[in-house]
Structure 1
Amino acid sequence: MPDFASGAVWLSLLTLTFLEIVLGIDNIIFISIASGKLKTDAERKKATNVGLILAMVLRIVLLFGVSFLVAMNESFYDFDWGWFKGGLSGQAIILVIGGVFLLYKSTSEIHHKLEGDEHTEGDPGVGKSVGATLQSVIVQITIINLVFSVDSILTAIGMTNGLEGALLIMIIAVVVSVGIMMAFAVPVGNFVNRNPTIQMLGLAFLILIGFMLIVEGAHLAHFEVFGSEVGTVPKGYLYFAIAFSLLVEFLNMKVRPGPKEKQVRLNTYSEEAAAPTTDK
C-alpha cells in the first residue's frame, strides 16, 4: 500500500492522472470520430461511454499483467538484411498495427467527408451509406483502445518505477482520469461533429498519431535502415502541434464573418441515413 501521508505519493498520483488525461486526448478524438458515424445521439453517447469504460478496463488489466507487458518488449525474431535489421517484439507489433489502422481509418474518413460514398452508375440510391452499426464502432474503439492502453501503461510504469504501492497509484490515476474524460467526452464529441474544420483537424491529428505509433513501434523493434537506428518522436512535439492548431482554429472561429450556414458542409452518416433514396 502506498503511504498517502507522503507528499511524493500525492504528487505522483496528480501528475500521473494529468498525464493519463493528456494521453487520452487522442483516444477521445478517435472515439468522437468513430461514434460520429452512428445515426442517433443516444447511440453516439453509448458508444463514447462504452469506449471509455473499455479503455479503463484494458488499462487496469494491463497493469495487473505488467510483467507480461514488459516481457513483450523482448525480441522473438531478429533479422539482418544488411541495409535493414532489427528484432520484432510484441509491443512493437501492437503499436505498428495500431498506427497502420489509424492511418487507414483517418484517410477513409477524410475521403468520405469530402467526397462522399460512390453510388452505382445509373442508380443514385444504390450503394448509399447509412452509417455504421453500434457493434462495429465499439469493435473499432476496442482495437484502438488496446494500442493506446499499451502506450499509456508503459509511460505510467516509467513514471512510478521504484515507488511503493505503484500499482494502486496507477489504478487510481486510470480510474480518475477516465471518469474525468467521460464527463467531457460527449460535449467534446458533439462540438467536433458540429464543426467541419474541427473534424478535419481531428482526422489530421489521428494521421499524426498513427505515424507516431508506427515510428515508436519501429524504435522499440530497434530497426536500423542503412546503419541509422529509427528514433522516437517526443510526444511533447505532437501535443504542442495539436494545441497550437486548435488555438489557431478557435481564433478563426471567433473572427470568422458571415452566418454559420455558409460553412463548408461535410458528408455525415446521420444525414445520409435520413436522406430519402432515389429509386429508378
Structure 2
Amino acid sequence: MDFSWISDPTALIALATLVVMEVVLGIDNLIFISILTNKLPEHQRSRARRIGIGLALILRLGLLGTIAIIVTLTEPIFTVFGHAFSWRDLILIGGGLFLVWKATKEIHHNVDPTPNDDIFDTPRATMTFGAAIGQILLLDLVFSLDSIITAVGMTDVVAIMVIAVIVAVTVMLVAANPLANFINANPTVVMLALGFLLMIGMTLIAEGFGAHVPKGYIYAAMAFSALVEGLNMLSRRAARRKADGPTADTTG
C-alpha cells in the first residue's frame, strides 16, 4: 500500500475530514446495534455488539477491496417513470424499508407491551442471538455501502479510506457499551433512538429515489432532539430531588 501521500497536506486534510464523516455516519449503525442488542439476555449483549461492529469493519474493508465494483453500483440498471435506479438505490431503499419496519415494530412494542390483546398480533418471541446478528449484518451492509461510496467520493487513495474506516469502527467499538447501557437505563431515550431510526430509514428511502437529503440537516435535528431530551432528564432529576427533600427532612 502506497503511503507517499503522508507528506501531502491536502491528503492529510482529506483524511481528517473523512475520519470525521465516517464516525458521524457510524452513529446510525451504532444506534441500531444498541437498540437491537438490548433485547438480548444481558450476558449476550456485549458479545453481540462486538460481533456486530466487527462485521461492520470486515464489510467495509471488504467493500474497499472491490472499489471498481462499488463504483459500478451507482450506474443505472433500469428506469421507472423517467427515473433511473442503480443497485445502490435499491440497496438503500431496501435498507430504509427494513429500518422503518423495525423501528415501527419496536415503537409499537414499547407503547403497547401486551401484544396478545390484539388479534392481529402474535406472541412476542425473545430475540435470539442468531437473529440479532443476522439483522445487524443486514444493516451493516447498507450502512457500509453508504460509508464506502462516501469515501470513494472524497478521495481516490485507498490507504486514506482504510485508515478512516478503521478509526471510525474503533470509535464505534469503544462507544458501543456505554451508549447501549445509557439507552437501556433511560426508557424515554429508547423512544428517541427509535425515532432517529425512523428518520434515518426514511432518509435512506429518499436517497434511493434520488432525493438528496443533506446529512447536516439530519444530524442537526438529531443533536437538537438529544439536547431537548437531555434537558428533560435534568428537569425530571431536579423534580425528584425536590420531591425527596421534604421527606428526608421529616425523617431526619
TM-score by length of 1: 0.80
The question of 1:186 aligning with 2:177 is answered yes
- Whole-Å separation in 2 of the counterparts to 1:105 and 1:13: 34
Aligned to 1:234: 214
- Whole-Å separation in 1 of the counterparts to 2:15 and 2:85: 33
Aligned to 2:154: 159
Unaligned runs of 5+ in 2: 244-252
Q: Aligned in 2, Cα 1:130/1:27: closer, same or farther, shift over 3 Å?
A: same
Task: Summarize the alignment of residues 28-47 of structure 1 with structure 2, pairs less than 5 Å apart.
Answer: 28-40=30-42, 42-47=43-48
Aligned to 2:235: 255
Aligned-CA RMSD value: 1.8
Q: Deviations over 1:208-247 (max 9, x none)?
A: 000000010110xxxxxxxxxxx31111100000001101
Secondary structure of 1:87's aligned partner: strand
Assess if the C-alpha contact under 8 Å between 2:115 and 2:124 holds in 1: no
Partner AA of 1:236 in structure 2: G
Assess if the C-alpha contact under 8 Å between 2:103 and 2:198 holds in 1: yes
Aligned to 1:132: 127
The question of 1:17 aligning with 2:19 is answered yes
Aligned to 2:109: 112
Assess if the C-alpha contact under 8 Å between 2:40 and 2:127 holds in 1: yes
Aligned to 2:88: 91
Secondary structure of 1:232's aligned partner: coil
Range 84-93 or range 144-153, more displaced: 84-93
Range 240-249 or range 13-22, more displaced: 13-22
The question of 1:148 aligning with 2:150 is answered no
Identity of aligned residues (%): 43
- Whole-Å separation in 1 of the counterparts to 2:96 and 2:117: 32
Deviation at 1:74, TM superposition (A): 1.6
Unaligned runs of 5+ in 1: 122-126, 220-230, 263-280
Q: Deviations over 1:42-82 (max 9, x none)?
A: 31111111111111111111111111111111222224xxx
Deviation at 1:16, TM superposition (A): 1.1
The question of 1:245 aligning with 2:225 is answered yes
Q: Deviations over 1:106-164 (max 9, x none)?
A: 0000000110142379xxxxx65352011100000000011111111111111114xxx
Aligned to 2:98: 101
Secondary structure of 2:127's aligned partner: coil
- Whole-Å separation in 1 of the counterparts to 2:106 and 2:222: 19
Give the aligned length.
Answer: 236
Partner AA of 1:174 in structure 2: V
Partner AA of 2:227 in structure 1: L
TM-score by length of 2: 0.88
Assess if the C-alpha contact under 8 Å between 2:38 and 2:45 holds in 1: yes
- Whole-Å separation in 1 of the counterparts to 2:235 and 2:8: 48
Partner AA of 2:23 in structure 1: I
Assess if the C-alpha contact under 8 Å between 2:103 and 2:197 holds in 1: yes
Q: Deviations over 1:16-65 (max 9, x none)?
A: 1111110000111100111011021x311111111111111111111111
- Whole-Å separation in 1 of the counterparts to 2:117 and 2:227: 41
